[in-house]
């Protein structure tokens, strides 16, 4: 039978087939395949065991799309969060923990590089948005990134969030503690484990530990993911990085050199656009920060 993976633990996976979930182990051949052999969202072929409640995944269909980041535990490798989704909701909170624009930019780049539409879900608006944050947020609609403001606590903005999710499979990703699980549990009216962020450093406690695909009304699915501390990009070439930031991408054609990194190269179109105020200096600074971290990791891998 053919089903879709809706949950994945280190040992096995849950596969949804005709409205029922089956606990499935991975065929040995798949396990030996190493990296990301089966991820949530994958369409798989399952062989049921005699009893009928369990099965074994014997093959995985090619993924249409996926989103991944770099994992630095041991040897650096690609960590695929999920596959076969329609869009990515980048979830951040106004405070506790405070939105980090560098992390948002990385996430948007990862989505763009995988041809996935993405938008910003700004949660915890009940805590109040500063003028400084509003000013910085204003950049995003200008570069085509919609902002959805909401509060899982007060319920504000949840109707708009719901309509943005309808009829699509959406991955919610963002730092730990921003309220991803709280939002899903509100929207779907189900219980999901959540936990307060720590008081002393305002960081989340990594409450969600596995990716879960929550099927909802016809055609709708919401995918909860474990929050991250830092989102490191995987598989993006430093020379191509600016391609995945739309405001920079529209200027790179003007660069004199094809391999321009837009730092201080002569004839750089991006630098020209910054001085002519077509690119926001904060976005440019964010680009430089991301470029530096990608180059630094590339160095480390050598
Ligand atoms: N003030 C306020 N707190 C919220 C809101 N949404 C969630 N919280 C709280 O934030 C804390 C973290 O929420 P979670 O839903 O566990 O966050 P998460 O993003 O799923 O975190 P991880 O699973 O660790 O990635 C909980 O104490 C929630 O009650 C909100 O809109 N406003
Ligand atoms: Mg969670
Ligand atoms: Zn350049």
Mean predicted lDDT score pLDDT of the chain: 95
pLDDT digits (tens, 9 = 90+) for 200-239: 888 999 999 999 999 998 899 999 999 999 999 999 999 9
How far, in Å, is the centroid of ligand 1 from the Cα of 178?
5
Query: How much of the chain, in percent, has pLDDT values that exceed 90?
Result: 87
Distance 88 CA to ligand 3 centre (A): 29
- Looking at ligand 1, which atom is closest to the CA of residue 182? 15
**Ligand in closest contact with the CA of 91:** 1
- Count the residues in the chain: 302
Residues 41, 153: one domain? no
What is the predicted pLDDT for the residue at 53? Answer: 79
In the predicted model, what is the mean pLDDT of residues 53-65?
94
The alpha helices in 39-190, defined as continuous H runs, are 101-113, 131-137, 139-142, 158-165, 180-188
Residue 11 lies in a domain: yes
Domain assignment present for residue 232? The answer is no
Residue nearest to atom 29 of ligand 1 (CA): 196
Which structure tokens are listed for 239?
Answer: 């020379």
171 assigned to some structural domain: yes
Looking at the fold, whether 125 and 141 belong to one and the same domain comes out as yes
Question: 50: domain range?
Answer: 2-60
| b/e per residue 222-241 (b: at least 16 CB within 10 A) | bbbbbbbeebbbbebeeeeb
Q: Which of 172, 197, 224 is the last residue of a domain?
A: 224
Interval between CA 203 and ligand 2 midpoint (Å): 13
- Please state, for a pLDDT cut of 70, what percent of the chain lies above it: 100
CA 103 to ligand 2 center in whole angstroms: 17
Distance 137 CA to ligand 1 centre (A): 21
Beta bridge partners of 123: 93
Q: Probe ligand 1: pick from 98, 156, 161, 194, max atoms within 8 Å of CB? A: 194
Q: State the pLDDT confidence band at 251, using cuts at 50, 70 and 90.
A: very high
CB 151 near ligand 1, within 6 Å: yes
Task: Please write the tens of the pLDDT for every residue from 158-185.
Answer: 999 999 999 999 999 999 999 999 999 9
Q: How far apart (Å, rounded) are the C-alpha atoms in residues 66 and 264?
A: 34
List CB contacts of 115: < 8 A, sequence separation 6 or more. Answer: 65
Task: Average the pLDDT over 277-281 and give the result.
Answer: 96
Residue 140 CB partners (closer than 8 Å, separation 6+) = 120, 146, 147
Are 99 and 43 in a shared domain? no
Which CATH number belongs to the domain containing residue 262 in this structure? 1.10.40.50
pLDDT at residue 11, as a whole number: 87
User: 153: Cβ below 6 Å to ligand 1?
Assistant: yes
Do 163 and 23 have their domain in common? no
Give me the number of domains the chain comprises.
Answer: 3
CA 35 to CA 44: how far, in whole Å? Answer: 16
In a domain, 229, yes or no: no
- CATH value at residue 129: 3.40.50.300
Q: Are residues 214 and 90 in the same domain?
A: yes
Is the CB of 172 inside a 6 Å radius of any atom of ligand 1? no
Quick one: pLDDT at residue 273? Answer: 98
pTM for the whole thing? 0.96
Using alpha carbons, select from 41, 19, 147 the residue that is nearest to residue 94.
147
54 Cβ below 6 A of ligand 1: no
Co-location of 55 and 71 in the same domain: no
Residues 208, 174: Cα–Cα separation, whole Å = 12
């Amino acid at each position: 039978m053919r089903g879709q993976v809706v949950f994945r633990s280190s040992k096995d996976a849950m596969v949804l087939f005709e409205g029922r979930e089956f606990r499935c182990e991975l065929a040995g051949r798949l396990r030996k395949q190493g990296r990301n052999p089966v991820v949530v969202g994958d369409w798989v072929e399952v062989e049921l065991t005699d009893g009928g409640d369990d099965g074994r995944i014997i093959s995985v269909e090619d993924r249409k799309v996926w989103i991944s980041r770099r994992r630095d535990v041991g040897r650096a490798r690609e960590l695929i969060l999920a596959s076969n989704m329609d869009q990515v909701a980048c979830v951040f909170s106004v405070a506790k923990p405070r939105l980090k624009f560098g992390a948002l930019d990385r996430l948007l780049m990862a989505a763009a590089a995988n041809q996935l539409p993405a938008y910003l879900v700004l949660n915890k608006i009940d805590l109040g948005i500063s003028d400084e944050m509003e000013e910085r947020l204003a950049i995003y609609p200008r570069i085509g990134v919609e902002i959805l403001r909401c509060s899982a606590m007060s319920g504000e903005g949840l109707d708009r969030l719901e309509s943005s999710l309808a009829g699509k499979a959406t991955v919610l990703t963002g730092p730990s503690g921003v309220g991803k699980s709280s939002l899903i549990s509100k929207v779907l009216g189900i219980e999901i484990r959540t936990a307060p962020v720590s008081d002393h450093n305002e960081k989340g406690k990594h409450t969600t530990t596995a990716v879960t695909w929550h099927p909802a009304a016809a055609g709708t699915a919401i995918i909860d993911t474990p929050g991250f501390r830092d989102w490191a990009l995987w598989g993006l070439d430093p020379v191509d990085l600016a391609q995945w930031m739309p405001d920079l991408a529209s200027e790179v054609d003007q660069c004199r050199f094809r391999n321009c990194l837009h730092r201080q190269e002569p004839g750089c179109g991006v630098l020209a656009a910054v001085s002519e105020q077509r690119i926001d200096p904060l976005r440019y600074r964010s680009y430089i920060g991301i470029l530096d971290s990608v180059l630094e990791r590339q160095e480390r891998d050598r």
